Chain A
Amino acid sequence: EAGVAQSPRYKIIEKRQSVAFWCNPISGHATLYWYQQILGQGPKLLIQFQNNGVVDDSQLPKDRFSAERLKGVDSTLKIQPAKLEDSAVYLCASTLGTLHGNEQFFGPGTRLTVL
């Protein structure tokens, strides 16, 4: 079974530039998550999709971050404009259904460095 795919794996940009990350979840997984993991910390949920609808985006900095999952499959996360404190690993995860705390399957992440 193919896992969660993410690209790019690494990205280096200057502050105030824009950047976009892509995620393709496991086939058939209805729920998709984007996390931000700052070095030395645990993942922090940014946004959760159920099919193509947003379930929770309470911790997404909406002035600069946006995400979409138009066809209920793959998803993109965008930062515009980036700040130094956005340097982190951005993880995408998916789960099969919507039951309480289903096991989440994670992609390898995209490491973003903002200079």
Chain B
Amino acid sequence: SQQGEEDPQALSIQEGENATMNCSYKTSINNLQWYRQNSGRGLVHLILIRSNEREKHSGRLRVTLDTSKKSSSLLITASRAADTASYFCATVASINDMRFGAGTRLTVKP
């Protein structure tokens, strides 16, 4: 079963705009990870945030984590057409328990 639930399911924006995707989960976690998947390809790790962290940055990516609300958000700033992909959050509750959500399909129009 999947733990994380991404919102929205699909998002369409213009190049240069910011894209925000949210992930909610139900149980306590050790860390939460975000992955990107281009059409027909495998997943690529973007960023990992631990349960004792509130915010992390990587280039144009900003991830926040609110463990009290059991939610995380991924912000992509100044989006590009190449950012078009599906984005998944994965919650890690224990060493053997990593669960992916259903993903957000992001389309960035040139």
* Residues of A in contact with B (beta carbons under 8 Å apart): 4, 40-45, 48, 55-56, 91, 93, 98-101, 103-109, 111
Does B67 lie at the interface of the complex (its beta carbon under 8 Å from any beta carbon of A)? no
Interface residues of chain A: helix, strand, loop or mixed (majority): loop
A42-B88 CB under 8 A given contacts A56-B96, A103-B33: yes
Interchain CB contact under 8 A, B42 and A109: yes
When C-beta atoms are compared, the residue in chain A nearest to B101 turns out to be A42
* Residues of B in contact with A (beta carbons under 8 Å apart): 2, 4, 30-31, 33, 40-45, 48, 88, 90, 92, 94-103
Distance of A21 Cα from B100 Cα, bound (Å)? 22
When C-beta atoms are compared, the residue in chain B nearest to A99 turns out to be B95
Interchain CB contact under 8 A, A40 and B48: no
> In this complex, which of B2, B33, B41, B95 has the most chain A Cβ atoms within 10 angstroms of its Cβ?
B95
When C-beta atoms are compared, the residue in chain A nearest to B32 turns out to be A101
* Given A43-B100, A101-B33; 15 other pairs, CB 8 A cutoff: A41-B102, A42-B2, A43-B88, A48-B96, A55-B96, A98-B95, A100-B31, A101-B48, A101-B95, A104-B98, A106-B42, A106-B43, A108-B42, A109-B42, A111-B40
